[in-house]
């Protein structure tokens, strides 16, 4: 069945964060949801429940936990048991609960900026000390590629006077769209084992693979790594249902899992009944053909935008994301006379990107683009950027 991702759905009448934050003449290409309808299978299951009429308290059924575990086995050959799976109302809630689980106030939280802003806020939420292992950009012509600097990573462990309790990994990485290789994951995991650091791996973007890229859950590398790892997955980005707030923590170690459940009971409550329904359909595999088509569309959007930047914005460098619908643009060489690129494009192009500085060190002078939209809207946004670029002087 052909799937069409070129149909513009007007979201302006909804309470969409992306579409209500800016005046009507601004095209929003920022917050990370897409402008595509969720697959029919999910929408039909939700409609069925609404037709039933009762939206009472519900909890994850064995069939849902099994669907999540089976998805890990099917996609990655990672043998997960259903009892290892804990439902959470979203991934931010889950990594906050994970920090309560593995950290004591005054201990360290290691992250890799530039990174998704709630990673940077987490330490403050739970009384941990921020420790940063900066990702390093390599540039080849107009393309940026991010790598882990292992000397920095080692140096960041137990830095700022705090013993590192938790490493919060983002894989695939937001905002760079980078997927780490097996060798990179193995090295960071070994360092974490050596230093007795718990790994919390946010893999929310792991099914949004573009082209031939393959995702490896860090916990799947060995039983020792698995024992120390909390893996976070969700259907939200993949099937564009983030407003339902549903995610899963996969915690094979029973003692760690019990501690996580206790910590999360202190802070957060149940997952909504509608999100449980959506998640079970998503993980059943019923929407796989839709997902394959979505990935082809996102890969085409990525290729188009990378080429557009190369041809029209010669001072700008851009990542070629292996996953996600997020591209990361280095605008530091644009002659903006000290103006911030996010503000410049908002004012002169009427295009709202994310501001690079919000992603921490290494984000200065960058913007993040969400290309999870129709080709027409992406083209319109980038044409506006091109016109404003022509007017720089
Ligand atoms: C890496 C990452 N983690 C978590 C989230 C948000 O997850 P949730 O909405 O389920 O809390 C996002 C959303 O953009 C994200 O990019």
Q: What is the pLDDT along the chain (393 residues), one digit of tens a residue?
A: 689 999 989 998 899 999 999 999 999 999 999 999 999 999 999 999 999 999 999 999 999 999 999 999 999 999 999 999 999 999 999 999 999 999 999 999 999 999 999 999 999 999 999 999 999 999 999 999 999 999 999 999 999 999 999 999 999 999 999 999 999 999 999 999 999 999 999 999 999 999 988 999 999 999 999 999 999 999 999 999 999 999 999 999 999 999 999 999 887 878 999 999 999 999 999 999 999 999 999 999 999 999 999 999 999 999 999 999 999 999 999 999 899 999 999 999 999 999 999 999 999 999 999 999 999 999 999 999 999 988 886
Q: What are phi and psi of 139, to 5 degrees?
A: -115, 135
CA 215 to mean position of chain CA atoms:
13
CA-proximal residue: ligand 1, atom 13 (nearest):
32
Any atom of ligand 1 within 6 Å of the Cβ of 90: yes
Contact 209, 177 (CB under 8 A): no
The answer to whether the peptide bond before residue 246 is cis (omega within 30 degrees of 0) is no
User: Rounded CA gap, 384 and 374, in Å?
Assistant: 16
Q: Give residue 324 CA to ligand 1 midpoint distance, Å.
A: 11
User: Rounded CA gap, 103 and 85, in Å?
Assistant: 21
Any atom of ligand 1 within 6 Å of the Cβ of 116: yes
Both tokens of residue 106?
């005054």
Any atom of ligand 1 within 6 Å of the Cβ of 234: yes
CA-proximal residue: ligand 1, atom 9 (nearest):
90
Q: Give residue 204 CA to ligand 1 midpoint distance, Å.
A: 7
Any atom of ligand 1 within 6 Å of the Cβ of 290: no
User: Rounded CA gap, 344 and 392, in Å?
Assistant: 10
Any atom of ligand 1 within 6 Å of the Cβ of 342: no
Q: Give residue 311 CA to ligand 1 midpoint distance, Å.
A: 32
Contact 339, 347 (CB under 8 A): no
Contact 345, 333 (CB under 8 A): no
The model carries a pTM of 0.97
φ/ψ bin of 357: left (φ > 0), alpha (ψ from -120 to 50), beta (otherwise): alpha
CA-proximal residue: ligand 1, atom 14 (nearest):
32
φ/ψ bin of 382: left (φ > 0), alpha (ψ from -120 to 50), beta (otherwise): alpha
Q: Give residue 335 CA to ligand 1 midpoint distance, Å.
A: 33
Residue-by-residue DSSP string for 141-161: TTEEEEEE-HHHHHHHTT-TT
Provide the β-strand partners of residue 372.
none
**Ligand 1 mutation target, pool 98, 204, 267, 370, most atoms within 8 A of CB:** 204
CA-proximal residue: ligand 1, atom 10 (nearest):
90
User: Rounded CA gap, 213 and 210, in Å?
Assistant: 6
Any atom of ligand 1 within 6 Å of the Cβ of 352: no
SS3 128: coil
Domain residue spans of the chain = 17-38+288-390, 47-284
What is the β-pairing status of strands 85-88 and 247-250?
antiparallel
Contact 358, 213 (CB under 8 A): no
Any atom of ligand 1 within 6 Å of the Cβ of 38: no
Any atom of ligand 1 within 6 Å of the Cβ of 87: no
What pLDDT, on the 0 to 100 scale, is given for residue 1? 63
What pLDDT, on the 0 to 100 scale, is given for residue 223? 98
User: Rounded CA gap, 216 and 180, in Å?
Assistant: 8
CATH class in words for 17-38+288-390: alpha beta
User: Rounded CA gap, 88 and 176, in Å?
Assistant: 26
What pLDDT, on the 0 to 100 scale, is given for residue 266? 82
Helix/strand number for the chain, H first, E second: 13, 15
Any atom of ligand 1 within 6 Å of the Cβ of 363: no
The answer to whether the peptide bond before residue 88 is cis (omega within 30 degrees of 0) is no
Which has the closest alpha carbon to 281: 37, 48, 64?
64
Q: Give residue 50 CA to ligand 1 midpoint distance, Å.
A: 27
Q: Give residue 118 CA to ligand 1 midpoint distance, Å.
A: 8
The second-level CATH assignment, the architecture, of 47-284 is: 3-Layer(aba) Sandwich (3.40)
Work out the number of other CB atoms within 10 angstroms of the CB of residue 192: 23
CA-proximal residue: ligand 1, atom 16 (nearest):
174
- In which residue are the tokens 């007007």 written? 10
Residues 6+ apart with CB under 8 A from 265: none
User: Rounded CA gap, 144 and 377, in Å?
Assistant: 24
Residues 6+ apart with CB under 8 A from 183: none
Contact 321, 178 (CB under 8 A): yes
Which has the closest alpha carbon to 130: 93, 166, 96?
166
SS3 326: strand
Any atom of ligand 1 within 6 Å of the Cβ of 200: no
Both tokens of residue 237?
């980005």
């Amino acid at each position: 069945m052909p799937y069409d991702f070129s149909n513009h759905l007007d979201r302006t009448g909804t309470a969409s964060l992306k579409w209500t934050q800016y005046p009507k003449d601004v095209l929003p290409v920022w917050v990370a949801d897409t402008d595509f309808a969720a697959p029919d299978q999910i929408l039909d299951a939700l409609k069925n429940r609404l037709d039933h009429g009762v939206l009472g308290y519900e909890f994850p059924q064995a069939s849902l936990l099994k669907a999540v575990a089976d998805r890990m086995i099917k996609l990655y050959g990672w043998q997960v048991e259903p009892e290892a799976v804990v439902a959470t109302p979203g991934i931010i809630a889950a990594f906050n609960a994970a920090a309560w689980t593995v950290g004591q106030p005054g201990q360290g939280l290691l992250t890799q900026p530039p990174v998704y802003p709630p990673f940077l806020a987490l330490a403050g939420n739970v009384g941990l000390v921020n420790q940063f292992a900066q990702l390093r950009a390599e540039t080849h012509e107009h393309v940026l590629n991010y790598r882990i600097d292992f000397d920095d990573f080692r140096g960041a462990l137990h830095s700022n006077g705090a013993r590192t309790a938790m490493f919060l990994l983002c894989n695939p990485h937001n905002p760079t769209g980078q997927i780490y290789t097996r060798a990179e994951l193995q090295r960071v995991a070994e360092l974490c084992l050596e230093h007795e650091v718990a790994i919390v791996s946010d893999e929310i973007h792991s099914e949004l693979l573009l082209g031939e890229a393959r995702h490896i859950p860090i916990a799947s590398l060995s039983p020792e790594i698995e024992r120390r790892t909390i893996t976070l997955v969700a259907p939200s980005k993949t099937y564009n249902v983030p407003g339902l707030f549903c995610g899963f923590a996969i915690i094979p170690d029973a003692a760690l899992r019990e501690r996580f459940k206790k910590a999360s009971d202190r802070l957060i409550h149940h997952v909504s009944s509608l999100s449980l329904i959506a998640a079970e359909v998503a993980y059943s595999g019923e929407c796989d053909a839709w997902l394959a088509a979505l990935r082809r569309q996102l890969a085409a959007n990525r290729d188009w935008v990378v080429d557009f930047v190369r041809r029209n914005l010669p001072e700008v460098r851009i990542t070629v994301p292996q996953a996600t619908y997020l591209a990361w643009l280095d605008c530091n060489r644009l002659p903006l006379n000290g103006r911030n690129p996010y503000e410049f494009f908002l004012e002169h192009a009427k295009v709202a990107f994310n501001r690079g500085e919000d992603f921490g060190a290494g984000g200065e002078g960058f913007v993040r683009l969400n290309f999870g939209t129709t080709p027409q809207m992406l083209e319109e946004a980038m044409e506006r950027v091109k016109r404003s670029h022509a007017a720089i002087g």
